[in-house]
Amino acid sequence: GLEIPNVLWSSGGDRLVNLGILGGIVPGGNYDFVVVNRDNANSISNGLANRLRINWIFDYILSLSTSSATAPPQSSFDIEVGLQSVDFMDYEDVVVTIVSPPEITVAPNGEDRCKPDLTCTLSYTVNVGNVVAQDYTVTFTSTSEQTSKEHSSILTVRGDVSPPEPSGSTSGGGGGGGGSRRPKIDPAQCNDKKDNDLDGKIDYPNDLGCTDSKDNNEVNIDSIVTKGNYTFGEELEEEETPEPTENDIEIRVVFWSSVLILVIGIIVMGIFILRYLREEKGLNKLIDVIEKSNTSGA
């Protein structure tokens, strides 16, 4: 559990003790309460029997396995809807509804609801009808059954009406057979070789915000779901310090070597300048003496 120092204990009788939290939001987690007597001996030996579980208010995020695809008429492809939550929540069933244009229909491959404890996935088939060369928007909306938490995500389908590529040709100069076109699905954020959330980590499993390679959201959801409050996941991510690579070490060696050479060069140049000034001063004195001697002799 966590240690919360800002608490206020008050007696409500021989067996009743009230606990008040002073300010702020207590992070979701398990909290053990142990009473210590004046002789510093714990009066409660079994912490599990005196454990308090604090849950966050239920929330989650909705993400699609892809946010865009290019599809020819009369084609189809599958897409996954992912629901993610965090530890210490009273999880609820979440229902997904879909709004699409007449040219596109979306059908679930099974259930249209699931409970994100901590994650759950729904599968859908996107059927593309008589589309033209334009973008079509399909909106996936999820709603939790008890708290009515609602989130949406958009799939953009681009109509591909370009002629099919030839699948090959026969020997003897025969004509090529007609090639078929298949939908082209853009990769998910956790599998696109890009740092989409600019945290220095790319794709699954390196980015802590990725649950798998089909996750289309690299952002660590803890801070989003808990409305920016303290979370265990954020603490673990902040404590991680990347190990310096061999390339980093070489760059540091070259940099500090260059700085050292520059400092030595400045020192040597300063010595030469001082010597020159001294010699110049001595030469001027000698010239003055000679001139004075010539003047006296005259």
- pLDDT tens column, 123-170: 999 999 999 999 999 999 999 999 999 999 999 999 998 887 766 544
Q: Which pLDDT score is estimated for 133?
A: 94
Cβ-contact 94, 119 below 8 angstroms: no
Under the banding of pLDDT at 50, 70 and 90, the label for residue 74 is: very high
Which part of the chain has CATH 2.60.40.10?
A: 61-165+178-239
Q: Which pLDDT score is estimated for 182?
A: 87
First to last CA, the chain: 104
- 142-177 as b/e: b if 16+ CB within 10 A: bbbeeeebebebebebbbbeeeeeeeeeeeeeeeee
Q: Which pLDDT score is estimated for 88?
A: 79
Percentage of residues of the chain with pLDDT beyond 70: 63
Q: Which pLDDT score is estimated for 243?
A: 56
Residue with tokens 């009369």: 74
pTM: 0.60
- pLDDT tens column, 255-285: 888 888 888 988 888 888 877 777 776 666 6
CATH superfamily of 61-165+178-239: Immunoglobulins (2.60.40.10)
Q: Which pLDDT score is estimated for 90?
A: 85
CB-side neighbour CA atoms (13 Å) of 286 = 6
Query: What CA–CA distance (Å, rounded) separates 199 from 211?
Result: 16
Query: What CA–CA distance (Å, rounded) separates 8 from 285?
Result: 86
Judge whether residue 189 has pLDDT over 70. yes
Judge whether residue 180 has pLDDT over 70. no
Please, what is the average pLDDT of the chain? 77
Look at the alpha carbons of 60, 66, 67, 73 in this order and tell me if their dihedral is positive or negative: negative
Cβ-contact 211, 80 below 8 angstroms: no
Judge whether residue 205 has pLDDT over 50. yes
Look at the alpha carbons of 61, 66, 70, 74 in this order and tell me if their dihedral is positive or negative: negative
Query: What CA–CA distance (Å, rounded) separates 273 from 281?
Result: 12
Judge whether residue 196 has pLDDT over 80. yes
Greater confidence (101 vs 199) lies with 101
Range from 41-55, 115-129, 275-289 carrying the lowest mean pLDDT = 41-55
